[in-house]
Structure 1
Amino acid sequence: MNRILAGLACAGMLLSSVAARAQSPEPLSIVVFGPPSLGAFLPPVIKAQKLDEKNGLAIKFEERTPDAYTAQFNSGEFQLGGSASLLTVGLADIRGVKVTYLFNLFDFWGAVVTSRADVKTLKDLEGKDLAAAKGTTNYVMFDWFARQLGADPAKFSVINTATPGLIGYALADRAAAVQLWEPAYTTLLSKKSDMRTIDLAISDSWKKFTGSRNIPYLGVAAHIDWVEKHQRLIPKLYAAYKEAADWVSAHPDDAAKLIAAKGTPDDQKAIADLIRANDRLGMNVQWASDVAKEIASVYAAGKSIAFLPSEPSAATIYQAPGK
């Protein structure tokens, strides 16, 4: 009798152990840009609100500079990238790296700011220095928009720096102008409100080129071999990001304290206002397959300025389950 009871107890412990393992969060490692950047916008919210755990994941976000991000994601050192811009995904595919854009997080927006009286248009920057994170797709997209306005980016003297350095260049007036985007743009204006923003005519130029105002820009990408092995995790990952975006939209003040945790109260207020407006932030979480037409337009823009030497494969646009 005792042996039977002992056997039942062992079996029960074994089943409990199996169940516990089945319920344990799946570990994921995702490389992202360091702040201030769009790729670093939602991760602190996901972790603070435990939205990864809620969806059965244990995500570790690893911060890198843009150049290091691209190298380490493309090499496969990281199988998941949370600062994945469409054009870098497309270029990686053309170069033989099998990757796919899982879902969009933010639509494109960028800006050029200056304190110099002699810089009123982008064409005025020809022959002058422009501080920019040249290794980012935001700069590549800016290149396209600059050409639509008749400027020649090849004539800009670009001072290449990592994204965290852009605000410092602008505050110190160390370049004729600085090309940057959100949330760095809002943080900069909260510190130096007299900076002038040069109009890039983004909406008008894109509408003329595509007939649409939607510009999918940055999201989450993965290596295709990882996708094939972890299909069941992708909806969970999407849910964690979507719930984070929804929470940010519903709680802008609380979200700002997480996103700009090291910022001043003024910095945090500026981020909260940015979230409320969402016109420059462009937070727009959607499956890649739901914006496939718009993604094709972004690829066409990249080809038109020779950033993309050919058309990326259809495999770069992930087909979400049930789509």
Structure 2
Amino acid sequence: MKKIALAFGLLSAVVTASPLAAQDLPKISIVVFGAPSLGAFLPPVIRAQKLDEKNGISIDFQERTPDAYTAQFNSGEFQVGGSAALLTVGLADVRGVKVTYLFNLFDFWGAVVTSRPEIKSIKDIEGKDLAAAKGTTNYVMFDWFARQLGADTSKFSVVNTATPGLVGYALADRATAVQLWEPAYTTLHSKKPSIRLLDLKIAENWKKFTGSTNIPYLGVAAHVAWAEKNKNLIPKLYATYKQAAEWVAKNPDDAAKLISAKGTDDDRKAIAELIRANGRLGMNVRTAAEVSKEIKSVYEAGKSIAFLPSDPAASTIYEGPMK
């Protein structure tokens, strides 16, 4: 009986100790855009699979609108950002906010959609209204690509809205055109297959400008002071996101159920197809050091349209160990 009691006591100790161990993990609070957005794409997978805990950290994801995200990350209210658009990181640095791009999650893809038959090209939007989340880097990159096509973007009448509102604008045909990206485009197309996509010639114009087709766009960034203080946590954070991306790529149907938990069956089917193709999604988890050349090309594009007044510091590209 004593042996049984001892065994039971040890088992009870293990059961009660496990939750405490999880609570004692180093905590990282990460601000991200609300869904639908690329920044909100992997967090539900990380939560469901408990990938953060498996890598020895505990992540608290906090959703914000693009404008609130930028304000609260740049102010230091949040030391880590999971919707870190590369040009926004560069601009923050130029303005004196010392931040660093830790790793890339998604390469750039953006789109303009319309239901108006008279709008056949980006240039046709001049003098007309365009619904967009103007505070995002995706819009800035779109601005650059639009100019490569000969459009005068200063003549666009931009109706600024948060990212969740873009799909609604397109469904209701409330603006001449709508500028958005994934996963919003896939969600929209599943609900309104007749919507037309205006060609930005992204790969063609980027290769002409840089010689490469790789466009680092959105990832995870941190304040430099936090990164220096938490060098041991960054490889764990990178591993968490990388494993999430790998799981998503291998399990598109199950991933879609997590990513579009509140969507319809058609929404989830569309997300699964988006994951399988990956062309528009552009999921590409790489360390900043691995894509440093391409990051500098993105900075050059930002300077060419006066979004960046000068070159961001080399410290915006994180070079620390990732293993």
TM-score (norm 1): 0.93
Following superposition of structure 1 onto structure 2, how do residues 117-196 of structure 1 map, counting pairs within 5 Å?
117-196=117-196
Unaligned runs of 5+ in 1: 1-12
Structure 1: how far apart are the matches of 2:165 and 2:67? 14
Name 1:290's counterpart in structure 2.
290
Contact 2:146/2:200, CA 8 A, preserved across alignment: yes
Which amino acid in 2 is paired with 1:300? E
Residues 1:35 and 2:35 aligned together: yes
Q: After the TM superposition, list the runs of 4 or more consecutive aligned residues in structure 1 that deviate by more than 4 angstroms.
A: 20-23
Which amino acid in 1 is paired with 2:317? I
* Matched position secondary structure for 1:164: helix
* Matched position secondary structure for 2:261: coil
Residues 1:213 and 2:213 aligned together: yes
Give the CA deviation at 1:22: 10
Structure 1: how far apart are the matches of 2:119 and 2:21? 61
Give the CA deviation at 1:25: 1.5
Following superposition of structure 1 onto structure 2, how do residues 232-247 of structure 1 map, counting pairs within 5 Å?
232-247=232-247
**Cα–Cα, structure 1 residues 43 and 22, in superposed 2: closer, same or farther, change >3 Å?**
closer
Contact 1:127/1:157, CA 8 A, preserved across alignment: yes
Give the CA deviation at 1:24: 2.9
Give the CA deviation at 1:99: 0.2
Structure 2: how far apart are the matches of 1:186 and 1:23? 37
TM-score (norm 2): 0.93
Give the CA deviation at 1:320: 3.2
**Cα–Cα, structure 1 residues 232 and 153, in superposed 2: closer, same or farther, change >3 Å?**
same
* Matched position secondary structure for 1:175: coil
Structure 2: how far apart are the matches of 1:210 and 1:198? 23
* Matched position secondary structure for 1:118: coil
Unaligned runs of 5+ in 2: 1-12
Q: How many residues align?
A: 306
Residues 1:108 and 2:112 aligned together: no
Which amino acid in 1 is paired with 2:157? S
Name 2:95's counterpart in structure 1.
95
Contact 2:182/2:281, CA 8 A, preserved across alignment: yes
Which amino acid in 2 is paired with 1:283? M
Contact 1:24/1:56, CA 8 A, preserved across alignment: no
CA root-mean-square deviation: 1.5
**Cα–Cα, structure 1 residues 322 and 276, in superposed 2: closer, same or farther, change >3 Å?**
closer
**Cα–Cα, structure 1 residues 73 and 23, in superposed 2: closer, same or farther, change >3 Å?**
closer
Structure 1: how far apart are the matches of 2:70 and 2:248? 27
Name 1:8's counterpart in structure 2.
none
